[in-house]
């Protein structure tokens, strides 16, 4: 019964069990399936079984988005088969459309999942959306109000030197707060972020500071 439920959703399992039944001497023969190359391992398979046993429904969050997409692609859970109206891939892609509501750390966690376990996700467009979200948030946090001066304010310039110094330090922190979070990503992912920042015409000074920060971290770790 459990096998039938899984096979009704998974095209890969249907193929495997059909082949085993065709070659088995009796229908009562037990079939053991082992996936050696399933990134995400037991957690990924558990997510799939929850989806299947819950009639094609599962709570999709930023923490399991990449995991669900990969297992759906790998196990061939598509619009074909016994449940043509249910597509886990479509559900995941619909969830990603709300990425603007994800927190900074949720976006980074999903990005780490992509780089560590799911290289095939590059064709899904999910990593691209995550990268775009990261760069957009960095750019938004770097926007500062322009400084304006007037003849009336020139007399107050000397008395406000200390405040200006503090403001400058705060602006620097505002522009570099994301350095520790992004530097722990893979070299390829960091490179993609930098390239996207350049294409989005981010401040060269900020990019240079980040590159220097990366070098310092690498030297410290070596």
How many Cβ atoms are within 10 Å of 130's Cβ, its own excluded? Answer: 28
State the average pLDDT over residues 118-136. Answer: 84
C-alpha neighbours within 13 Å on the C-beta side of residue 37:
4
State the average pLDDT over residues 6-23. Answer: 78
C-alpha neighbours within 13 Å on the C-beta side of residue 220:
7
Give me the residue spans of the domains in the chain: 1-101
Enter the tokens of residue 55. 């009639």
Q: What confidence tens digit (pLDDT) does each residue in 79-120 have?
A: 555 555 578 888 898 999 999 999 999 999 999 988 887 766
Higher-confidence position of 205 and 159? 205
pLDDT above 50 for 34: yes
Query: How is domain 1-101 classified at the CATH fold level?
Result: Potassium Channel Kv1.1; Chain A (3.30.710)
Q: Could you give the CA distance from residue 45 to residue 71 in angstroms, rounded to a whole number?
A: 7
76-111 b/e (C-beta count within 10 Å ≥ 16 → b): ebbeeeeeeebbbeebbbebbeebeebeeebbbbbb
Q: What confidence tens digit (pLDDT) does each residue in 185-195 have?
A: 999 999 999 99
Q: What confidence tens digit (pLDDT) does each residue in 136-156 have?
A: 999 988 754 334 443 443 443
- Rg from Cα positions in the chain: 25
> In this structure, are residues 134 and 193 in contact, taking their beta carbons and an 8 Å threshold?
yes
């Amino acid at each position: 019964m459990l096998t039938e439920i899984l096979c009704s959703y998974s095209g890969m399992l249907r193929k495997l069990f059909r082949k085993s039944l065709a070659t088995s001497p009796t229908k009562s023969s037990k079939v053991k399936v082992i996936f050696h190359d399933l990134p995400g391992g037991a957690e990924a398979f558990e997510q799939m079984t929850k989806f299947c046993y819950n009639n094609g429904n599962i709570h999709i969050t930023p923490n399991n988005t990449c995991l669900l997409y990969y297992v759906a692609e790998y196990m061939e859970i598509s619009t074909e088969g016994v449940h043509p109206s249910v597509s886990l891939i479509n559900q995941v892609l619909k969830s990603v459309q709300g990425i603007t509501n994800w927190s900074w750390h949720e976006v980074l966690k999903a990005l780490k999942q992509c780089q560590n376990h799911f290289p095939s996700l590059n064709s899904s467009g999910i990593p691209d959306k995550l990268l775009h979200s990261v760069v957009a948030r960095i750019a938004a946090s770097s926007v500062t109000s322009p400084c304006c001066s007037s003849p009336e304010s020139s007399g107050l310039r000397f008395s406000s030197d200390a405040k200006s110094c503090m403001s400058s330090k705060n602006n620097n922190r505002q522009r570099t707060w994301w350095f520790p979070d992004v530097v722990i990503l893979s070299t390829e992912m960091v490179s993609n972020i930098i390239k996207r920042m350049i294409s989005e015409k981010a401040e060269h000074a900020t990019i240079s500071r980040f590159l220097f920060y990366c070098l310092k971290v690498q030297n410290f770790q070596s």
